[in-house]
Amino acid sequence: MIAGAGKMARQHAGAVARSSVPAQVVAVVDPESSVRQELVALCHGATGFAELEEALAKCAPNVVHVCTPPHTHASLAKTSLRAGCHVYVEKPFAQTQLDAEEVLALADSSDLKVCAGHQLLYEAPARIALRLLPALGALTHVESYFSFRTVRQSSGRISVQSDEQLLDVLAHPVYSLLQILEAAESAARLELRGVEWGPGGTVHALVRRGRVTGSLVVTLEGRPIESYLRLVGSNGTVHADFVRGTVQRLIGPGTSGIDKLLNPFRVSRQLLTGTVAALIKRAVNRQRSYPGLVEIIEAFYRAVQTAAPSPTSRENILETVTVCEAIARKVLASSAYPSGKAGVAVQGEETILITGGTGFLGKRIVGVLRGRGERVRVLSRRLPAAWERVASVEYVRGDLAQPLDPGVMQGVRAVIHAAAETVGGWEEHEKNSIRATENVLRAAATAGVTQVLHVSSIAVLSGQMGSSGINEEADFEANPRRCGPYVWGKLESEKLATRLAAKLGLTLRIVRPGALVDYRRFDPPGRLGKRVGNVFLAIGGRREKLAAVDVTFCAEIIAWILAHFDDAPSILNILAPELPTKRQLVTRLREYNPGLRVIWLPRVLVRPLSWLAIVLQKSLRPRQTATNVARIFQKRDYDTSRIAAVTRRLEGESSSSSVAPRDTFHLA
């Protein structure tokens, strides 16, 4: 039986189906009907249940897989054990050492087995590293490194903050590190010597077991994406790479001159041949689930059948939970705020409320407004991680898809509505873009807030151009659904905001940013082209201009509109006053990526390649809408006269004051 029906639960269902130990999923438990039924459809013969207790009573499974949100793992594991089931618990096994001890004690008293979702231990790199451990002589140091990129949503259903994601994946590098330390110094006790975390979401921890030290680094910002173990001993080193599925070893003292000369070539050969072999193996085996997942599930099932020890030791489970709990306390220490709020609550009648204030543009708007001395309140579904907050800003939790608490608007003089869905399908965009816009405007009107600035997108405009290009009065996209859920949600939100503002007596200002880029940490806009490894495919002509705008410049313009609300344009396309050419953007990309190879794809080739891509998409995915690549990269000219006029006013005010004009206005 599988408890949970999200992404990880689907991985478990697939792994069970591919297991060499015969097993069948008899039940799926999830309170949300739609996702529950989707997983039931994938598990032939399974029955769906909303409650775990009912499923346990009616199906009497041998094993329960707990794949629910982390805070429920311990309680569901205990419920399953009391029902006489063996339990596989996804990581993290538990959030506290006390919970973990209770689960393990209950399993022992019931003569049942539990297994933690420590599947990295069953991947080839971890097994090989463990096998090579004796050859390294006296182990002196172990390094466990894990860098990853956060996602906006979990299972497409709920938004997840970066600190939650960091703590969720933390178990992987911790348990793999602790397994090596346990194997090297089994008689000694583990000591956690120190924990530090950086402002960008990077955790550093130092542990010791006997005479061996271990360092742990988990980072959200480190690039490229990596996950590895590095073992250093008196007779060599081993580097176990979980991303590539390879192991590089240098066995021997390596102190002679010839060793120093040849070792780089030895490592290079192992890296090349190992990577090729790992890729071929994954392709031949049609690897669909997480590496190691099928193997650890098979090992657990065999342990249940033969009364053998569980694949994850009691010591590894408890020590992993203990270390993760200590790190979580450190990371979340600055997040201990009253329920629903975080930061410094500001009193007074001059607060600016920002929705979407934790996003790419929203965070920059918050920073600019605070720099101008404004009082700011940010409304978001989840409180941001401590390292993502702006000092002296009030953060309030609220779901924009639901009617807002009246207290959110208390003391607010103006609202900047920058929140919108960026991922997911039509339902998510209807809820988190369109419905959210209605709830924000109605809440503002009810509270007597009359000034609302709505952040739309340049993508809502059609490609029909006037003599000087697309301007603020251009027609909307005639068929937004062909452009995908994002454009549709933005367009319908803007239309709704205009209608509601007139009906509710609100003064509305609409801004439509172009493709947002950060020239200080440049990441190319999607319409410039596509990066594949160390090659960037630039699409179109070098002299073509792109509707890109620096995110800080965009935030400055929005702050200026807020300060000049009555005489600001009712609608403004926020672009660079002088649009950058694709050549200029590629040049900037190369500055940040030395050695990057750029290949230009002429526009004359884009259309036939797009037709071919549509044919392939329709043949491979007949039920899904095919993406028209040519339409995405079609050439568009924009009239920037209005944004240029606003920029001149803004710069004129800056130059006449004590504040120097910002160079971000001219970065394009």
User: What does the pLDDT read at residue 635?
Assistant: 86
Q: How confident is the model over 527-551, as pLDDT tens digits?
A: 999 998 889 999 999 999 999 999 9
- Cα–Cα separations (whole angstroms), residue 248 to 135, 206, 251: 14, 24, 10
Percent of the chain with pLDDT over 70: 92
Q: How confident is the model over 325-363, as pLDDT tens digits?
A: 999 988 776 554 444 454 444 444 489 999 999 999 999
User: What does the pLDDT read at residue 467?
Assistant: 61
Q: How confident is the model over 204-230, as pLDDT tens digits?
A: 999 999 999 999 999 988 888 999 999
User: What does the pLDDT read at residue 663?
Assistant: 39
d(CA 248, CA 137): 17
pLDDT greater than 90 at residue 163: no
User: What does the pLDDT read at residue 25?
Assistant: 97
Phi, psi of 530 (to 5 degrees): -135, 135
Beta bridge partners of 238: 231, 249
Q: How confident is the model over 405-426, as pLDDT tens digits?
A: 999 999 999 999 999 998 888 9
Q: How confident is the model over 385-408, as pLDDT tens digits?
A: 877 889 899 999 999 999 999 999
- Give start-end residues of each CATH 3.40.50.720 domain in the chain: 2-116, 338-513
- Token code pair at residue 512: 């439509």
Phi, psi of 395 (to 5 degrees): -110, 130
User: What does the pLDDT read at residue 464?
Assistant: 65
pLDDT greater than 70 at residue 289: no
- Give start-end residues of each CATH 3.30.360.10 domain in the chain: 120-289+306-313+325-331
d(CA 227, CA 241): 6
pLDDT greater than 50 at residue 104: yes
Of 72-81, 187-196, 460-469, 527-536, the one with minimum mean pLDDT is: 460-469
Mean pLDDT of the chain: 90
d(CA 476, CA 490): 11
User: What does the pLDDT read at residue 334?
Assistant: 52
Contact residues for 430 (Cβ-Cβ < 8 A; gap 6+): 489
CATH superfamily of 120-289+306-313+325-331: Dihydrodipicolinate Reductase; domain 2 (3.30.360.10)
pLDDT greater than 90 at residue 667: no
pLDDT greater than 60 at residue 316: yes
User: What does the pLDDT read at residue 658?
Assistant: 46
pLDDT greater than 50 at residue 600: yes
Cis amide prior to 125 (ω within 30 degrees): no
User: What does the pLDDT read at residue 665?
Assistant: 38
In 535-644, where do the E strands start and end?
535-539, 548-550, 571-574, 597-601
Contact residues for 586 (Cβ-Cβ < 8 A; gap 6+): 524, 528, 536, 538, 542, 598
Q: How confident is the model over 129-158, as pLDDT tens digits?
A: 999 999 999 999 999 999 988 765 544 444
Q: What b-and-e string marks burial along 448-471, b requiring 16 or more CB atoms within 10 Å of the CB? A: ebbbbbbbbbbbbbeeeeeeebbb
3-state DSSP call for residue 573? strand
CB atoms within 10 A of CB 198: 13
d(CA 270, CA 266): 6
Backbone region of residue 227 per phi and psi (left: phi > 0; alpha: psi in -120 to 50; beta: other values): beta
User: What does the pLDDT read at residue 389?
Assistant: 87
Percent of the chain with pLDDT over 90: 72
| Nearest to 395, CA basis, from 356, 432, 428 | 356
**Residue 38: which pLDDT band, with cuts at 50, 70 and 90?**
very high
338-513 has CATH 3.40.50.720 classification? yes
User: What does the pLDDT read at residue 604?
Assistant: 86
User: What does the pLDDT read at residue 287?
Assistant: 62
pLDDT greater than 60 at residue 380: yes
CATH among 3.40.980.10, 3.30.390.30, 3.40.50.720, 2.60.40.1240 for 2-116: 3.40.50.720
Average pLDDT (507-523) is 94
